[in-house]
Amino acid sequence: MVESRLATVLNVNDDDANRYLVNRLLSLAGYNVLEAATGMSALLLAQQHRPDVVILDVKLPDISGYEVCERLRADPNTSAMAVLHTSATFVTSDKKVRGLDGGADAYLTQPFEGAELIATVKSLLRLRHAEQVARNRANELAAMDRRKDEFLAMLGHELRNPLAAIMTSIGILQRRPATDDKEARMRGIIQRQTNHLARLVDDLLDVSRITRDKVELRPGRLDLMPVLRHVLQVTQPLADARGLALDVTLPAGSMWLDADATRLEQVFTNLLDNAVKYTDQGRVTLHVAQEGVDGSARAVVRVKDTGIGIPRDVLPHIFELFAQADTSLERSRGGLGIGLTLVRKLVQLHGGEVTAHSGGPGLGSEFVVKLPLVDAVGLPHAARNAADLRRGRRILLVEDNVDARQAMRDLLELWGHQVAVAPDGLQGVALAVSNPPELALVDIGLPGLDGYRVAETLRHRVGNGIRLVAMTGYGGPEGRDQAMRAGFDRHLVKPVKPDELDRILSEL
């Protein structure tokens, strides 16, 4: 608490006798006292000396005490000062209400006892101290939160770089037949666990954005069916490894949404991954149908399993952060307890809803996602020839990580592309200027000249004919926006899946 002998009080009153009396009472109580006879001089002193408490008479010769208080509150430099209104004239309840509504902390009617004045000042000082402690704590928490976000961003970058090299290498191995069954199994294990690590990194970084409401969508018109088929390609090996049947029912036609494909993939990967992880035997079912017609039509995706189920007391909280159905000590099924929180938030951002159902422990679970459908009229049709999409291109790869660079080069050359590589931004620019490629894959975190400056330089010196793709371990929306401003055409977050890279190259 602020001690009285250290506290400073500004006493504002145009009556000399009254001002002297209050000054004397405050001095005897051990306060440092400043005095002013007008509202304007009070504002000047408040700016210069930053008193702890302002005792402010309402009736002043220039501007009223009400206006002085409002100006103190409006100025960030003086807004935290405690203000005590006093008056011998404005003593009715409506005047007191006006003063308190205008920002005063207390209101005393003159004449008042000296003990009452000192007790009120002490009370205001205690209040001011408590507010200052809370303000300091809030600032400390905000600073800690910023440092945490910076750490998570750096952690994601450092984890994604080696994951990118591993995932690209797996993509190369998968295109060559295995020598025996054991090698095939080992490849499958590496691929599944690498995908799992990549999802954990994504979830870890996204949960930070979700708690601050900074998750952004990049929506576009898309068909839900290819998204689900791609998720099933990832899930099928996981189900096979656990000996589970994966039953899938998809409609014959398309289901068009206005959605972010990457985020929807994250939603259904989380749900199917959980279903497989929490099921020891039996089956996992994915059923997709449409409900409603015209403007109210929705896609209904059901993910059902015969697994451990969800206890009745856990079910209402299953979408909360860090909630898990498996609360046993060994936590053998792993996970961070953040996947379903992400699912709910991402579904809500798409204008949909997700619900969870379970009969209890041992009776399995079902998650139902409903997403609004859009009219398919006017959707673009594929116009390019598939052979043209697959033709070899001249590609420049700018990547400082040796393993990631070599693996990516091998993969691109395996696809028939001509690849030039550079380990830093300066060499990348030099190669692009001397022999312009059709497309450049540029890492953002490069030594010397970062990826943003590489893109800006290439746009200036090579022109708009070159297609630029940013590759980065930083997955936040800020980085994506900065990449677009720098001149990139696409922004990919490491580790880049081979099929995703192949699709991007075809589209560009």
> If you search the block for the tokens 């190369």, which residue do you land on?
172
Per-residue pLDDT of the chain (508 residues; tens, 9 = 90+): 444 447 999 999 999 999 999 999 999 999 999 999 999 999 999 999 999 999 999 999 999 999 999 999 999 999 889 999 999 888 888 888 999 998 999 999 888 899 999 999 999 999 888 888 888 898 888 888 778 777 776 776 677 778 878 878 887 887 788 888 888 888 877 877 787 777 777 766 666 666 666 667 778 888 999 899 988 988 888 898 889 999 999 998 889 999 988 789 889 998 999 999 999 999 999 999 999 877 789 999 999 999 999 999 889 888 886 555 554 433 445 555 577 888 898 899 999 999 999 999 999 999 999 999 987 554 444 433 433 445 688 999 999 888 888 888 888 988 889 999 999 999 999 999 999 999 999 999 888 899 999 999 999 999 888 999 998 876 666 778 888 899 999 888 887 878 778 878 877 7
Q: Which CATH number fits domain 8-112: 3.30.70.141, 3.40.50.2300, 2.40.37.10, 3.40.50.2000?
A: 3.40.50.2300
Cα within 13 Å of Cα(342), Cβ side: 29
Fold match between domain 215-372 and domain 386-507: no
Sequential DSSP letters for 181-236: HHHHHHHHHHHHHHHHHHHHHHHHHHHHHHHTT------EEEEHHHHHHHHHHHHH
* Residue 325 DSSP label: S
Element (H, E) at 505: helix 498-507
Pairing of strands 245-249, 106-109: unpaired
So where are the chain's domains?
Answer: 8-112, 215-372, 386-507
CB-CB contact of 305 with 282 (8 Å) = yes
Quote the CA–CA distance of 340 and 317 in Å, as a whole number: 10
- Distance of alpha carbon 229 from alpha carbon 343, whole angstroms: 18
For the record, the structure tokens of 473 come out as: 């371990």
Residue 352 per-residue DSSP state: -
Neighbours of 301 (CB within 10 A): 25
One-letter amino acid at 244 equals L
The fold of 386-507 is: Rossmann fold (3.40.50)
- Give the separation between CA 228 and CA 11, rounded to whole angstroms: 72
Per residue, what are the HEC states of 161-172? HHHHHHHHHHHH
CB < 8 Å & 24+ apart, contacts of 335-340: 335/274, 335/277, 336/200, 336/203, 336/204, 336/207, 338/203, 338/204, 338/206, 338/207, 339/203, 339/270, 339/273, 339/274, 340/270, 340/274
Look up tokens 């693996």; give the residue. Answer: 407
Q: Which CATH architecture has domain 215-372?
A: 2-Layer Sandwich (3.30)
What is d(CA 53, CA 8) in angstroms, rounded to the nearest whole number?
A: 7
